[in-house]
Structure 1
């Protein structure tokens, strides 16, 4: 049975308009595009106003007076829209980039570097224990990880007796990255396929009741 919910009809109409892009740019797709952009901008504005209200309420009530620094930096960043006074916005932007870079580097060192090294060490020990299938899986993960690290670290050609073995490992590491990229692309395709499938299910089941 066809749905009588007007929101379902609106969703179906916008979904069909979005699918018309398969035949090229057209007014129906532009309608869906403009509606999507408008809703996202409106949602962002409302969310931003709500966030500002909740964040700066302790400042105006005197509970957290140090938030005045954040308020001043936020106001200074708005001067980026005026070319004459755009230099004022460079101060909060510089602080944001500096703090963000520092926090990101600390997180990367803790998770990506130390975390991955700890995982490789722990998984190396698991190669020699457990069922054969698990041991093979840990062995492949350790070998692939080390090969990828060698490929990234030894980007300069090394001369000497170790040049040939490292060259073989680098070549294998290159194929490891190619395999990873292929798997990543496959996962992305499956994800988008799931989105398309869910949209078709909404059209045929929720809207048309088939």
Structure 2
């Protein structure tokens, strides 16, 4: 019975799915009976464990390699859902951060989701879903040292507005989901800045990765067929 459910599920590709929010997204779609392929950059053992638990497929990929990225999207076949969750964070005085580090951040956070979305749309089913994981820092940056990061996340808002129009004639929706502080390896709920971050929030806690996955899952649903070209923020009021 389970295999029948899997065969009737949607074809889903999650770029960056081996930890944190990405892992929660993979698990949410897999639990629904969707056929999930996800990529990972480094943690092969963890990725293989997730793939075995969820009956999904793990693929090693550096999203900054444009040819490899295009190939991975093409090999995933006729997608129903693309979720781009890979991302880099560079923090510090912009006068001191090496230019190469910033260029790589822009490549991973801006160029890669654009090329992934375009490649997916070439063979995506009508009514497909393209969802990029951004950040509330696109709308509010109350701390120093994150200007390049917030730049990269703000760029996603313009990207989804344009691509939503480009692919709208096929009823493909394109949106960015913008988490605030979320309890992951990169930003643990008990990390050194948690009190500062909670001070900006109306609901003073980190989000759980599963809460973000829930919003992504809804955006990918038929209910959300008229939601496109927009940013959906889940941040506990960080940007309020």
Q: TM-score range by the shorter chain?
A: under 0.3
User: Which is richer in helix?
Assistant: 1
Tell me which of the two structures has the higher relative contact order, counting C-alpha pairs closer than 8 angstroms and 6 or more residues apart: 1
User: Which is richer in strand?
Assistant: 2
TM-score (structure 1 length as normaliser): 0.21
TM-score (structure 2 length as normaliser): 0.19
Bigger radius of gyration? 1
